[in-house]
């Protein structure tokens, strides 16, 4: 997070990106609230930290409903507005939420933050007169506010819109002049990271010319945190991060996995280690497509996956400019296997679609995908409680025809209870489980659990992922109590939103080109 005390020369429009995470850092600790609301806030914050913004939004919404005014509600509202405004590109909804905060929490730091963030959104939309009014309101109501210097600067910028001379800003903001380079989180929260290569590798300080250390070829070297600094091969250096570049004729191994491009290793705020692979986008896709879709599948399906994965990556690159990384290497984003061997068919799919993405309003779309819709895709509203025009429920007959589309499973009450406990949901002896709500597509959106300690309601997706997502493949199921547990009969696999991979395969086998596959699942998008 950039400090407001640092001066640099930049345009006001860059400030907007730099401050989107700042709001909740200024907020006071929430008042005591229900255990359920507190749990939802922890889950939401964890999703947000990992860049899983829709999952975070769903949990913040539940925390708002479960928390009384003054509990976790104001922070949850502010975070929901941040997600709508900065990540979902829906400033109108964000402004509506900020308005609610201003009315409900007058005179508080939450009102101050809501006014400031509203002003920033208006500036971003080139509504300079309204932005100036809101910045002036902030300064008059909160003359000692923590953002007074930025507000004063931005008010002046709003009164003199872009086109004049460059101004000095009180904020250090990151710039995105990285072209098609993506930053991938490949290791997180590690006590040690082991690196190696078949060639000699220099370990460099990002801000220095001389190498900190040189790694011998064909040997692994351990990098560890040491009191906020980095210990490389047992020698501690006065730096918090280092850079390693893969050799041109090979790859750099990080914890045994090969990577091309550059790897940045840094000490986190918790005193652990994180590693990021900084690599060209198309090279990144070579490591994604064959891990998200079997490389033996039809090439038109693989091409569709390549476009979807490229679009998803570009969306994350755009909205995560102010973060340390753009995307994770796990199922939290999309699976990335580094520089391991790329099957020819997957490579051809990436190369044949080079640069092509799906857009909405000229910008990269949020292209979620899943394994199998079971015959009907799901509306994003019923999974994450947010409407996205191109992520709506549509009939999907190709997925229904796919092998293994139908499934059955049995979970005992003990298995269900143990799974919930592992995920922080404490329930007593289970007496009854039943669907509490379903979506128009037939998916279970809420599950009610009656137990010895009371009643617990979870979203269908939470219930599935907390109990056994391998056995309970989707939320498109029917439940029947039997033999001390629940028998599930369902269809499909995954959350059901966006492209169905098995549906793409079936369409490709039927002769559909990748463009037709994409526009079947993402209605209203442009392929560019």
Token pair for 269: 């705020």
- What pLDDT is attached to residue 23? 45
**Segment 393-420, tens digit of pLDDT:** 999 999 999 999 999 999 999 999 999 9
Q: Is the pLDDT of residue 9 over 90?
A: no
The continuous run of DSSP H or E covering 8 comes out as: strand 8-9
Q: Taking the domains of the chain in order of start, what are their residue ranges?
A: 8-169, 192-271, 406-491
Q: Residue length, the chain?
A: 528
Question: Rounded distance, CA 26 to CA 211, Å?
Answer: 38
Token pair for 160: 């003199």
What's the pLDDT band for 163 if we cut at 50, 70, 90? low
Q: Tokens 């409407």 appear where? A: 387
What's the pLDDT band for 40 if we cut at 50, 70, 90? confident
**Residues sharing a CB contact under 8 Å with residue 323, sequence separation 6 or more, in sequence order:** 21, 51
Identify the CATH assignment for 8-169 out of 3.40.50.1980, 2.60.40.790, 3.40.605.10, 1.25.40.10. Answer: 1.25.40.10
Phi, psi of 104 (to 5 degrees): -85, -35
∠ Cα 474 477 482 (to 5°): 120
**Residue range 491-501: average pLDDT?**
97
According to DSSP, the residues that pair with 395 across neighbouring strands are 376
Question: Rounded distance, CA 96 to CA 129, Å?
Answer: 19
What's the pLDDT band for 49 if we cut at 50, 70, 90? confident
Q: Is the pLDDT of residue 346 over 80?
A: yes
Strands of 106-233, DSSP E: 168-169, 181-190, 193-197, 201-204, 211-215, 221-226, 229-232
Three-state DSSP class for residue 451: strand
What's the pLDDT band for 171 if we cut at 50, 70, 90? very low
Three-state DSSP class for residue 441: coil
Q: Tell how strand 499-500 and strand 369-370 pair up.
A: parallel
**Segment 221-251, tens digit of pLDDT:** 999 999 999 999 999 999 999 999 998 888 9
pTM to 2 decimals? 0.86
DSSP 492: -
Average pLDDT, the chain: 89
């Amino acid at each position: 997070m950039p400090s407001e005390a640092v001066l640099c020369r930049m345009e006001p429009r860059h400030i907007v990106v730099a401050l989107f995470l700042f709001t909740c850092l200024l907020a006071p600790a929430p008042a005591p609230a229900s255990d359920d609301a507190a749990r939802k806030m922890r889950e939401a914050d964890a999703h947000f930290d990992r860049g899983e913004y829709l999952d975070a939004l769903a949990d913040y919404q539940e925390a708002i409903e479960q928390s009384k005014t003054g509990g976790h509600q104001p922070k949850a509202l502010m975070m929901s507005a941040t997600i709508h405004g900065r990540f979902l590109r829906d400033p109108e909804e964000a402004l509506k939420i900020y308005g609610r905060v201003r009315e409900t929490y007058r005179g508080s730091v939450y009102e101050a933050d809501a006014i400031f963030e509203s002003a920033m959104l208006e500036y971003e939309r080139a509504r300079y007169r309204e932005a100036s009014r809101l910045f002036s309101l902030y300064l008059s109501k909160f003359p000692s506010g923590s953002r007074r210097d930025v507000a004063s600067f931005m008010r002046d910028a709003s009164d003199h819109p872009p086109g004049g001379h460059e101004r000095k800003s009180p904020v250090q903001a990151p710039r995105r002049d990285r072209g098609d380079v993506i930053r991938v989180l490949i290791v997180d929260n590690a006590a040690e990271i082991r690196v190696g290569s078949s060639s000699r590798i220099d370990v460099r300080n990002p801000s220095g010319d001389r190498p900190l250390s040189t790694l011998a070829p064909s040997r692994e070297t351990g990098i560890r945190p040491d009191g906020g600094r980095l210990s490389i091969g047992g020698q501690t250096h006065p730096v918090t991060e280092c850079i390693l570049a893969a050799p041109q004729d090979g790859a750099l191994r990080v914890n045994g996995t090969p990577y091309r491009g550059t790897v940045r290793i840094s000490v986190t705020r918790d005193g652990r280690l994180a590693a990021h692979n900084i690599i060209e986008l198309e090279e990144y896709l070579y490591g994604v497509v064959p891990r998200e879709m079997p490389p033996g599948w039809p090439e038109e399906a693989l091409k569709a996956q390549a476009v979807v994965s490229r679009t998803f990556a570009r969306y994350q690159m755009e909205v995560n400019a102010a973060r340390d990384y753009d995307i994770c290497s796990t199922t939290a984003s999309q699976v990335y296997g580094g520089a391991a061997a790329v099957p020819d068919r997957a490579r051809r799919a990436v190369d044949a679609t080079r640069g092509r993405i799906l857009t909405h309003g000229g910008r990269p779309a949020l292209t979620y995908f899943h394994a199998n819709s079971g015959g009907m895709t799901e509306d994003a509203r019923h999974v994450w409680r947010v409407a996205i025009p191109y992520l709506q429920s549509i009939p999907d007959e190709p997925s229904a025809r796919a092998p293994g589309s139908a499934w059955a499973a049995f979970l005992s009450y003990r298995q269900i209870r143990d799974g919930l406990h592992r995920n922080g949901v404490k329930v007593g002896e289970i007496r009854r489980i039943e669907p509490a709500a379903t979506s128009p597509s037939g998916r279970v959106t809420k599950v009610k659990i009656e137990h010895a300690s009371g009643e617990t309601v979870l979203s269908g997706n939470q219930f599935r992922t907390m109990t056994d997502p391998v056995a309970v493949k989707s939320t498109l199921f029917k439940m029947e109590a039997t033999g001390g547990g629940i028998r599930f009969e369902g269809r499909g696999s995954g959350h059901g939103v966006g492209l169905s991979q098995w549906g793409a395969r079936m369409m490709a086998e039927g002769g559909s080109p990748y463009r037709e596959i994409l526009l079947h699942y993402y209605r209203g998008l442009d392929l560019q």
